[in-house]
Structure 1
Amino acid sequence: MNQLSIQQAIGANAYPGRGILFGKSADGMYAAMAYFITGRSENSRNRIIVEEGQG
C-alpha cells in the first residue's frame, strides 16, 4: 500500500463527495480517523455533522 498525503489522495477531485481517512502518526504510536462530506450546492455545503444518542 502506498502512503499518500490528503492532497495527493483527493486534491485533484473537485467533488470528492464523502469519505473516511485513516492514518497514523509519523512515529506509529497514534492512529487517526476522520470522516468528511462535501457538497456541490450552497445548501449541501452548509451541512453539519451532529452526534446523537448511542449510535
Structure 2
Amino acid sequence: MSCSGCSNAVNRVLQKKEGVTSVDIDLEKQSVLVKTDDAVSYDDVLATIAKTGKKVNGGQVIA
C-alpha cells in the first residue's frame, strides 16, 4: 500500500467483513493490524485483503 486510495480499499473490505472488530492501517510501515472475533481465521483475513488486489507479504496471529 503506497497511497491512501490503496489503504482505503483495504480498510473498506475489512470493515465489511463480519467478525472484524477493528482495523488499524499504517501507510508509513505499510502494515495493517486486524482484530477479529474467534470466528474469523487468518486465511479469511488474507482472502479478504486479496480481493483488493494487494499482496500480503507476511503476517502473524496473536492470541
Q: Same fold (TM over 0.5)?
A: no
Compute the TM-score of the two structures, normalised by the length of structure 2. Answer: 0.30
Q: Select the structure that is richer in helix.
A: 2
